[in-house]
Amino acid sequence: MKTAILGGGLTGITLARLLHEKGDDVTVLEREPEYGGLCRSMTDSGFTFDIGGSHIIFSRDAQVLTFMRDVLGRNSRQNKRNTKIFYKGLFIKYPFENGLHELSKDDLYFCINEFIKTLIAVEKGELPHPSNFREWINYTFGKGIADLYMIPYNEKIWKYPTERMSIHWVDGRIPRPPVEDVIKSAVGIETEGYTHQSVFSYPLKGGIEAMVREIAKPIEDKIQKGFHVSSVRNKDGKFIISNGSHEIAAERLISTIPLQELMPCLEGVPENVKKACSGLKYDSLACVFIGIKGKVPDISWMYIPERKLGLFNRISFPSNYSPHVAPPGHSSILIEITYREGDEASAMKDREIIDHVVIALDEMKIIKRRGDVVYSAVMRQKYAYVIYDLDYLRNINTVKEYCAGKGIGLVGRFAEFEYLNMDGCIRNAMDFAERA
């Protein structure tokens, strides 16, 4: 069967490989000059950065984790996670509820008192079941942890009010903290949260794109780069995909591109489907790449909930993942700023964003001197994070039902419009290939 896959990101490349191994005739159509999508990396002046934000290799899914590690082979290094939350000038252990003893006494009391009060109220049935994300945060962590960290951080990354977000997506993504761990943390007994990522892998050379390149090796000759899909129509039982000058016919069509890019390519889309698609919300991402002389803190990555520190929500240190992503005697820092069209970050020029970030890194004492910065760049991604607003389920179901009725398969983060990490993208590609 001739299969056309729209999009050559991690999902499209993985799916193409798996279908090829089953004997399918596969063509991947990627509009960019290079494949990889959000898992591409760039190397400049001796520094290698992942252009879609900091990526690490971990998973609860043993099959997927084995797949990722196997394709990298020896080009891989294991790291022990050392992740912090920068809060009131302190480097608090991540996740927040596992570092409570590092807070001031007042903040510690606020967190543990509210956690226990909420726990008792839930067990007595005195609290109604949450109906939105903000209520879920308070219901799960108590007002202390909610107010000090969970709500400000989540509203900083999503750029969306938590009371207007759905809760259907949180199970499995934001673990409920074990009661005993919260109490141990409060009295200073060491605990570890999110244990599935406490040890993670990363390519020694090439950034995260090295993994995508290895996955693509068996099907590289089946990837058409620079093919910007402009229309998709059905003719005589086949999909005819065009870029305006060239057409490709296929019996099966699978899209891994954002729904907002797919819908305009289709003929005769009903108004209710168009409206549902336009109602699906997402965040964009600006990644700021900083190269410095000398060392960075021995931290894997760090979350920043406080707005006054800057627009960024996460800082990663790629040179702590691999010694080969920065020149000798140098280190690298990757800063992430989510934004939505029309907000402050979207209007800032690259130089303004870089200056904004460097000033903050200096104030946070992440860098010793601003003069140590020897490299800087900004890379923006239009589609980065799915926002689960209260209308999400209705809108996505409308769009998915329409595509299913047209025989178009949807796989991947922005095709399924699900907040999938790399392992989730690979798992969904595996499941689709298994069913195909």
The answer to whether residues 406 and 274 belong to one domain is yes
Residue type at position 272: N
Q: Span 223-251, mean pLDDT? A: 97
The answer to whether residue 334 sits within a structural domain is no
The answer to whether residue 293 sits within a structural domain is no
The answer to whether residues 217 and 164 belong to one domain is no
The answer to whether residues 219 and 273 belong to one domain is yes
pLDDT tens-place string over residues 16-27: 999 999 999 999
> Do 170 and 418 touch, CB atoms closer than 8 A?
no
Q: pLDDT band for position 193 (50/70/90)?
A: confident
pLDDT tens-place string over residues 364-376: 999 999 999 999 9
The answer to whether residue 352 sits within a structural domain is no
The answer to whether residues 107 and 237 belong to one domain is no
The answer to whether residues 27 and 149 belong to one domain is no
The answer to whether residues 187 and 229 belong to one domain is no
For residue 242, pLDDT over 90 is answered with: yes
Q: Span 56-83, mean pLDDT? A: 97
- Among candidate residues 133, 168, 192, the one where a domain is terminated: 192
**Which of 412, 367, 377 is closest to 286 using CA atoms?**
377
The answer to whether residues 108 and 163 belong to one domain is yes
Domain encompassing residue 119: 95-192
Q: What is the spatial distance between Cα 370 and Cα 354, in angstroms, rounded to a whole number?
A: 12
Q: Report the CATH number at residue 407.
A: 3.50.50.60
> Do 56 and 47 touch, CB atoms closer than 8 A?
no
Say what the pTM is: 0.96
Q: pLDDT band for position 177 (50/70/90)?
A: confident
Residue 250 backbone phi and psi in degrees, to 5? -150, 145
Q: What is the spatial distance between Cα 253 and Cα 241, in angstroms, rounded to a whole number?
A: 9
The answer to whether residue 17 sits within a structural domain is yes
Report H helices in 279-338: none
Residue type at position 239: F
Residue 36: helix, strand or coil by DSSP?
Answer: strand
Classify 412 in phi/psi space as left (phi over 0), alpha (psi -120 to 50) or beta. left
> Do 375 and 289 touch, CB atoms closer than 8 A?
yes
The answer to whether residue 297 sits within a structural domain is no
- State the angle between helix axes of 62-72 and 422-435 in degrees (0 to 180), rounded to the nearest 10: 100
For residue 173, pLDDT over 80 is answered with: no
The answer to whether residues 244 and 185 belong to one domain is no
The answer to whether residue 369 sits within a structural domain is no
The structure tokens listed for 180 are 């005993």
For residue 121, pLDDT over 90 is answered with: yes
Measured CA to CA in angstroms, residue 111 lies from 103, 108, 192, 199, 276 at distances of: 10, 5, 18, 28, 40
The answer to whether residues 145 and 268 belong to one domain is no
For residue 1, pLDDT over 90 is answered with: no
pLDDT tens-place string over residues 123-162: 999 999 999 999 999 999 999 999 999 999 999 999 999 9
Give me the residue label for tokens 């009391």. Answer: 109
The answer to whether residue 385 sits within a structural domain is no
Residue % of the chain over a pLDDT of 90: 96
Average predicted confidence (pLDDT) for the chain: 96
The answer to whether residues 178 and 259 belong to one domain is no
For residue 251, pLDDT over 80 is answered with: yes
The answer to whether residues 7 and 149 belong to one domain is no
> How many domains does the structure of the chain reveal?
2
The answer to whether residue 306 sits within a structural domain is no
> Do 373 and 333 touch, CB atoms closer than 8 A?
no
- Among candidate residues 167, 192, 217, the one where a domain is terminated: 192
The answer to whether residues 250 and 216 belong to one domain is yes
Res 320: pLDDT: 98
If you write DSSP's letter for every residue of 247-270 in order, what string do you get? EEEESEEEE-S-HHHHGGGBSS--
- Among candidate residues 129, 162, 192, the one where a domain is terminated: 192
Res 203: pLDDT: 98
